[in-house]
Structure 1
Amino acid sequence: MTTTNDLAALETERNRIRAEYLSPADRRPASSARGLHHTALLSSDVLSTVRFYQDILEFPLTELIENRDYPGSSHFFFDIGNGNLLAFFDFPGLDLGPYAEVLGGLHHVAISVDPERWQHLVDKLKQNGIDHVVHSEVSVYFKDPDGARLELIADPLGEMYGHRVL
């Protein structure tokens, strides 16, 4: 259990890191990156993953190829807008076990959607019996068929709950 002293120490450390590393937006250097090319997740079943991401979340499948690193494995991609992709690998024959949140692993993927599309997608989650939790009326959290946690957020890219983060 985290004590009051622990919480104070954590806040002190956050403040120290902010002071040392966080520059105001007008003085922040440009990033060396152009954007997120893709995030790669694992899929236990290609068809159920395609049906979930394309049919329910409405992210179009853009490519389905053999994984060059593992014969018989698929590498497939979904368009999540703005030139970004969500990718998957399946590894038939390997016992990867169930999804687990572990240190260094995936906590969740947050994907920005237009506010008018957000409610439509929340309704589709309900219609398809997918457990979900709405937070702050702009975020919905749920899990994909393999247990990976996802968030659809109606805030624009670079904002979170009305606060600029970029």
Structure 2
Amino acid sequence: MTDIDLDAIAAKRARLQAEYITAGRPPTSARGIHHTALMCSDVEQTIRFYQGVLEFPLTDLFGNRDYQGSTHFFFDVGNGNLLAFFDFPGLDLGPYQEVLGGINHIAISVTKEKWDYLRGKLDAEGVPYQEASGTSLYFRDPDGVRLELLADPLGEMYGTKVL
């Protein structure tokens, strides 16, 4: 990592907040995220992890219209939101890596009780995780995608309203 000017970054962040986060902002033009689509190496392994370990119900599974032999499938992550996956058999895709425009992590809100319960399931499955601030669990899915279980309500993060 190269040296960075933290004071300059903080000043830019303050300027962006003052300029773009405005009181009385207009409502969003969107209704919400229909689904976020990720890639996986093995459909059944992904189903066992997301439905079996994390308890996100599989809602549908069908052929991908854009790539013959590929499967497109969806998990319910609450509040009308879906997490979707594709497999791409025959493409010999490499392992997950962070790239510009890629996903750093997906944060999924759960109650504190469910957060404690799912932490126990991660332990039982031997899934390593990092705990942060007493409300975040960071871990990776079978293909290396970084996930966060966040025991904060939607629209809040670590006691701060973000919505």
Same fold (TM over 0.5): yes
Unmatched runs of 5 consecutive residues or more in structure 1: none
> Runs (4+) of structure 1 moved beyond 2 Å?
none
Find the counterpart in structure 2 of residue 140 from structure 1. Answer: 137
Query: Is structure 2 residue 147 aligned with structure 1 residue 150?
Result: yes
Show the 5 A alignment for 1:120-135: 120-135=117-132
| Cα offset, 1:53, TM superposition | 0.1
Show the 5 A alignment for 1:72-91: 72-91=69-88
Cα distance in structure 2, aligned partners of 1:18 and 1:111: 25
| Cα offset, 1:43, TM superposition | 0.6
Cα distance in structure 2, aligned partners of 1:32 and 1:115: 31
Find the counterpart in structure 1 of residue 14 from structure 2. Answer: 15
TM-score, normalised relative to structure 1: 0.95
Which segment is superposed worse, 46-55 or 11-20? 11-20
Find the counterpart in structure 1 of residue 30 from structure 2. Answer: 33
C-alpha distance after superposition, 1:117-137 (max 9, x if no partner) = 110000000000001011111
C-alpha distance after superposition, 1:69-117 (max 9, x if no partner) = 0010000000000000000000000021010011111100000001111
Amino acid at match of 1:142: F
TM-score, normalised relative to structure 2: 0.97
* Residue identity (%): 64
Amino acid at match of 2:64: N
> How big is the alpha-carbon RMSD for the aligned residues of Structure 1 and Structure 2?
0.8
Amino acid at match of 2:3: T
| Cα offset, 1:2, TM superposition | 2.9
Q: 3-state SS of the aligned residue for 1:111?
A: strand
Q: Aligned pairs, how many?
A: 162
Q: 3-state SS of the aligned residue for 2:92?
A: coil
